[in-house]
Amino acid sequence: MIEALPGAAPAVCAPPSARSLMKASALDLTGREVQLLGLLAQGWPNKRIAEHLSLTLGTTKQYLNRLFSKLGVENRGQAVQAGRQLELLS
């Protein structure tokens, strides 16, 4: 298990930018889906995402499956790659 350095700030995900939200709306992505994409890009596992967003693991997986479907991808890596190509990730 990796421990944080004493006094280090916890890792947080910045909210989606206005620009990425405008692009996301053209793809019919919700703000939550863009937020999930950002967490995926940071390498967060589903359990950590669920805890961070106060969701159940099942709900998190449903959001991710919907995100993958909207992006036309099959997995996390492809989703992050698509997010970068579409300039949804800063």
Packed helices 76-85 and 31-41: angle between N→C axes, nearest 10 degrees: 110
The reported pLDDT for the residue numbered 89 is 87
* pTM for the model: 0.72
Residue 26 has pLDDT above 70, yes or no: no
What secondary structure does DSSP assign to 39-71, as a single string? HHHTT--HHHHHHHTT--HHHHHHHHHHHHHHH
Domains of the chain, residue spans: 18-85
Structure token pair of residue 36: 């999930």
Between 27 and 60, the higher pLDDT residue: 60
> Options 3.40.50.720, 1.10.10.10, 3.30.70.100, 1.10.3720.10; which CATH number does 18-85 get?
1.10.10.10
